[in-house]
Chains A and B, each alone.
Chain A
Amino acid sequence: MFRKIATPVIAILIFLGLWELLVWANGWPNYKMASPSDLPPAFWKYKELFFVMGWQTLWRTIVGLFLAVIVGTLIGMIIGFSKLARDALYPLLIGFNAIPKATLVPVISLIFIGQHDFNTILMAFMISFFPIAVSVGIGLSTLEPEYRDILRALGASKFTIFRKIALPKTLPEFFGALKVSATLAFIGTNLVEIVSPHGRGLGALFKSGETNGDYPLMFAVLIALAFLGIILYYAVIFLERVFAGWADREGN
């Protein structure tokens, strides 16, 4: 247990040490590259803003991710169970996913003008539902027919088969995708926060650091974002342990 916590902590400390060394050895001023020692003062100076903005970023990301889970799972179920839907929807989904989401920021801010919270959540959702939809779809469509037949031969309904077999069997793939989606959702949130004028959240704080030439603040925001990303990632890991812990084979 001690090793489990100590190992990543030591790795982070080594990383920060190397970063500090790099900046010191090159003699870079903090407007070129801030060093780790610049960060605590930056955090301290804006500590209230970090809490307020960090919370805004976090809740909007989580709501967007939550929507991505619901809609992604639904789309995954549709393309997983129906070959017709799969043939029809795959090109659309892939095309949509291929669009750089930054290009959609002006589009959605024109459609939903002034709805900053809504736009941010929408972007977090749009950027993160794809991996979930694809993995659930693949999980369901590759279910071996024998799994279905053992219950179907007893006259079980489609819903019972889904609940007792297809759904739990897809959970490991689902959580694999959710880990990817959780970090993607942060990208979506920040995209809107940074690009749209009068934004809120950590993205807006980053933008104001840039406007005011406060480089340590910009780096501090990046670290805060990384920190939130790590928290959300481990929250997903925790849920995975609870709901799909059986897929984790000890010793393998």
Chain B
Amino acid sequence: MAAPFTTKGNSIENLIEIKGARHAYQTASGPLPVLDGLDVAVPSGTFAAVVGPSGCGKSTLTRLVAGLMKPDEGEVWLHGERVTGPRKTVGMAFQNPVLLEWRTILDNVILPLEIVAPTMPRKDRIARAMELLDMVGLTGFEGKRPSELSGGMRQRASLCRSIVHKPEVLILDEPFGALDAFTREDLWQTMRDLRAAEPFTAVLITHDLRESVFLGDQVIVLSGRPARTQYVMDVDLPADRTLDVLFTPKAADMLHVLRDQIKIAQGRDVEGQA
């Protein structure tokens, strides 16, 4: 299922690789296993969408990749290096855009550069941020406060912030989950355009199967908690796909397979076999 792991220093096929991750959170009522044999392999420059039932450990997966926590067992590798802690080559965006209310949109986007590139001149930081804001259609809003923007615009700014420092790995934890359906589709297209222009490898956590097919090069289905990799689907659609692609029979077939897999993950029978 996962591509064979390549050793450090060699040509790296998989930029992100998680092998056999197991993890349990310690709670008052004993250990709560959340991951039980998670395997993920994301080739460089591609987009992996991860779907699964609610509470199955998808967010734990993002924290593993970001180096914010270590699994009890198993390995996490980024770019041929074992992940042991946070690294500057990661960008994150969440369902909540978590913009800093006291900063302008421009200064919000610049924030990661202040950590990652402390010596970068402000003029260059602004130029980089403006380039991204232009790409997501926020030119003219750089001087506004987050509270003056709509939910969709805030999420666009949050996406800019997550990639402003040119991360190798972009981790998206349901970034479109709280948006209305039309705004969400707009942002899918924005994400597709950013992908074409920027060099990141992405992991997208989502509850939306159409989103996973539209944005993903592969869709990884996780089982119910504790999560293991249940199913991996390669999305064989053109890279410059439009929303229309979701209405083709091919996409419909993929969505159908994914839906059945989610039902299995939820512990329910596939429809018709009650």
Residues of A within 8 A of B (CB): 144, 146-147, 149-156, 160, 164-165, 168-169, 171, 244, 246-247, 249
Least CB distance, B116 to chain A, in whole angstroms: 6
Contacts of B68 in A (CB 8 A): 149, 152-153
CB < 8 Å neighbour of A144 from B66, B88, B98, B111: B98
> B161 to chain A: which residues have CB within 8 Å?
150
> Contact: A146 with B90, CB < 8 Å?
no
Within the complex, the shortest CB–CB distance from A154 to chain B, in Å, comes to 5
Are B100 and A153 interface neighbours, CB within 8 A?
A: no
B251 vs chain A, min Cβ distance (A) = 32
Distance of A228 Cα from B63 Cα, bound (Å): 53
Q: Which of B63, B86, B90, B116 has the most CB of A within 10 A?
A: B86
Q: Which one of B94, B111, B116, B145 lies within 8 Å of A146 (CB-CB)?
A: B94
A246 to B99, CA, bound (A): 13
Give the residues in chain A near B102, CB-CB below 8 Å: 168-169, 171, 244, 246-247
The answer to whether B139 has its CB under 8 Å from any CB of chain A is: no
Q: Is the interface of A mostly helix, strand, loop or mixed?
A: helix
Minimum C-beta distance from B70 to chain A (A): 14
Give the number of A-B contacts (CB < 8 Å): 61
A155 near B145 with CB under 8 A, answer no
B residues within 8 A CB of A249? 147
The answer, among A144, A164, A171, for a CB contact under 8 Å with B114, is: A164
Contact: A155 with B87, CB < 8 Å? yes
User: A150 and B92: CB pair below 8 A?
Assistant: yes
Q: Given contact pairs A153-B67, A154-B87, A168-B100, enumerate 14 new A-B contacts (beta carbons under 8 Å).
A: A144-B96, A144-B98, A146-B94, A146-B96, A150-B92, A151-B111, A154-B112, A154-B165, A155-B86, A155-B115, A164-B100, A168-B102, A169-B100, A171-B102
Beyond A160-B115, A246-B102, whether A154 also contacts B88 by CB under 8 A is yes
- Contact yes or no, A155 B88, CB < 8 A: yes
Q: Is the CB of B92 within 8 A of A153?
A: yes
Closest to A171 in B: B102
Q: Min CB distance, A102 to chain B, in Å?
A: 40
The answer to whether B86 touches A152, judged by C-beta atoms less than 8 angstroms apart, is: yes
A155 to B85, CA, bound (A): 8
- Residue pairs across A and B with Cβ atoms less than 8 A apart, 9 shown, are A153-B86, A155-B86, A155-B87, A155-B115, A165-B100, A169-B100, A169-B102, A171-B102, A247-B101
Contacts of B92 in A (CB 8 A): 149-150, 153
Q: A152-B68, A153-B68, A154-B115 are in contact. Are A246 and B90 (CB under 8 A)?
A: no
Type the 1/0 row for B168-179, where 1 means its CB is closer than 8 Å to any CB of A: 000100000000
Give A47 Cβ to nearest chain B Cβ, in Å.
Answer: 44
